[in-house]
């Protein structure tokens, strides 16, 4: 079994990204480390890399994942790489940087059927309407996702986010969010 560390902005990101990574690669155990927001991620990710370096468990790869919030994702990934270089941290495992085009909710909005499945499993009633917006163009997809959850009376908590990620059709996400394909490639690259 491969072991991946992930450094992410917050606890919700940790459960969703870990779920999606395990769905992309069933041979992976994920150790998430949430930082407490983007500023904390920028300040702490090198420290988490050192932490992973001295784990008793062999780490095969670490993904540092952040939201781009409408900024150029590749520029943000380069910035993370430069910060790592300046930190003088030289981990013995590959480190991949990924900036989701907008926010995590972009991917969860991509498959309204996943929200319906979670609602049905919780005996909630109602119809979830798909959003026809260009998802990766949304600067703040969170209100749209929260509206989707409210259509079927689901709470916006970590468990529901995790369940939606577990039920989502990854091919549908890739179809509606083209940068997701790059994330898949990074998960497979090891």
C-alpha to C-alpha distance for 105 and 143, rounded to whole angstroms? 9
Q: What is the pTM assigned to this prediction?
A: 0.94
What pLDDT shows up at residue 132? Answer: 86
Q: Quote the pLDDT of residue 158.
A: 97
CATH match for 2-103+178-188 among 1.20.1740.10, 2.130.10.10, 1.20.1600.10, 3.40.50.1980: 3.40.50.1980
Q: So what's the pLDDT on residue 127?
A: 79
| pLDDT at residue 133 in the model | 86
Compute the distance between CA of residue 176 and CA of residue 135 in angstroms, rounded to an integer: 7
Structure confidence at residue 10 (pLDDT): 96
Q: What pLDDT, on a 0 to 100 scale, did the predictor assign at position 144?
A: 95
Q: What is the mean pLDDT of each run of 10 residues along the chain (190 residues)?
A: 96 98 97 97 96 88 95 96 94 95 94 95 85 88 95 96 98 95 89
Domain boundary assignment for the chain: 2-103+178-188, 105-175
Q: How far apart are CA 134 and CA 155, in angstroms?
A: 25
Partners of 7 in beta bridges: 33, 64
Instruction: Work out the burial of residue 13: count CB atoms within 10 Å of its CB; fewer than 13 is exposed, 13-18 middle, 19 or more buried.
Output: buried
Q: At what angle do helices 11-24 and 180-188 cross, to 10 degrees?
A: 70
DSSP SS3 for 64: strand
């Amino acid at each position: 079994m491969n072991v991946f560390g992930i450094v992410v902005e917050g606890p919700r990101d940790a459960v969703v990204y870990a779920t999606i990574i395990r769905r992309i690669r069933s041979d992976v155990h994920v150790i998430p480390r949430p930082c407490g927001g983007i500023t904390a991620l920028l300040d702490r990710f090198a420290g988490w890399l050192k932490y992973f370096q001295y784990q008793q468990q062999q780490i095969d790869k670490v993904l540092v994942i952040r939201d781009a919030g409408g900024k150029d994702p590749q520029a943000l990934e380069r910035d993370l790489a430069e910060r790592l270089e300046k930190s003088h941290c030289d981990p013995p495992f590959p480190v991949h940087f990924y900036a989701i085009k907008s926010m995590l909710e972009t991917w969860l909005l991509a498959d309204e059927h996943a929200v319906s499945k979670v609602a049905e499993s919780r005996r909630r009633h109602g119809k979830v309407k798909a959003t026809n917006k260009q998802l990766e163009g949304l600067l703040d997809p969170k209100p749209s996702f929260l509206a989707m959850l409210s259509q079927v009376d689901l709470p916006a908590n970590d468990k529901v986010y995790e369940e939606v990620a577990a039920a989502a059709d990854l091919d549908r996400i890739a179809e509606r969010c083209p940068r997701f394909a790059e994330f898949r490639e990074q998960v497979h690259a090891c």
